[in-house]
Amino acid sequence: MRKTELYTQVLERLREQMPPIDTELDYGSPFQLLVAVVLSAQCTDKRVNIVTKSLFAQYPTPQLMAQATEEEILSHISSVSYPNSKAGYLKGMSQMLVNDFGGEVPSTMEELTRLPGVGRKTANVILAIVFKEAALAVDTHVFRVSRRLGLVPERCKTPLAVELELKKHIESDMVAQSHFWLLYLGRYTCLARKPKCSICKMTEICKHYNQLNKLLKQ
């Protein structure tokens, strides 16, 4: 199957399975989304939504969070992964937003990745959801699913390489949505250790699935 046809079929099947969707994180402002995405690194969205209820009730804006101590922030987020590091990130990020950006979340990759705790993946989520840009965040789910389906070649061994390859083949107005479709396919169906191939609608065109079947028949 040609690459163009594969992308067309994958996106059509994802569109049939899932409505237009974005993040499962709870937030009330661009700042709160940024905080939630930083907290979500190597942590479930469910856990993040639990801790941000009290965190945002106490510190809903960068101005208020910048005034908090790391210990005060830590008391709200202690149950997430790497809480000490993330408390420091949130404190420093809030201070930089207030001091350098007038309390507003910046709108460029360069500016976002200046913020403590914000890498390319986090920045792409913000650009896609808040600023409606054709940004595609590659987390472990998108990375795994893209390679298993055959959307990207084996030489794409980094998140950046996968991101650039996917964007070469997806129409700009579908880039951000495609991220979430691939993400949720990986989160709920194409699991890392035990993919649920028996309920997946992609098996007919999935490179990984068909390679395994071929090996089993030998």
What CATH topology corresponds to 3-20+137-217? Endonuclease Iii, domain 2 (1.10.1670)
Token pair for 5: 């046809």
Would you give the DSSP letter of residue 129? H
Q: Which of 100, 139, 168, 194 is catalytic?
A: 139
pLDDT digits (tens, 9 = 90+) for 42-59: 999 999 999 999 999 999
For the question of residue 26 being annotated catalytic, the response is: no
Q: Which CATH number fits domain 30-129: 1.10.340.30, 3.40.190.10, 1.10.287.70, 2.60.40.10?
A: 1.10.340.30
Q: Which of 121, 157, 173, 201 is catalytic?
A: 121
How large is the C-alpha radius of gyration of the chain?
A: 19
For the question of residue 121 being annotated catalytic, the response is: yes
Would you give the DSSP letter of residue 183? H
Q: What is the phi/psi pair of residue 82, to 5°?
A: 50, 55
Q: Tell me, yes or no, if the pTM score tops 0.85.
A: yes
Total residue length of the chain: 218
Domain boundaries, the chain: 3-20+137-217, 30-129
Average pLDDT, the chain: 95
Other Cβ atoms within 10 Å of 167 Cβ, number: 15
- The residue with tokens 């795994």 is 144
Q: Is the pLDDT of residue 20 over 90?
A: no
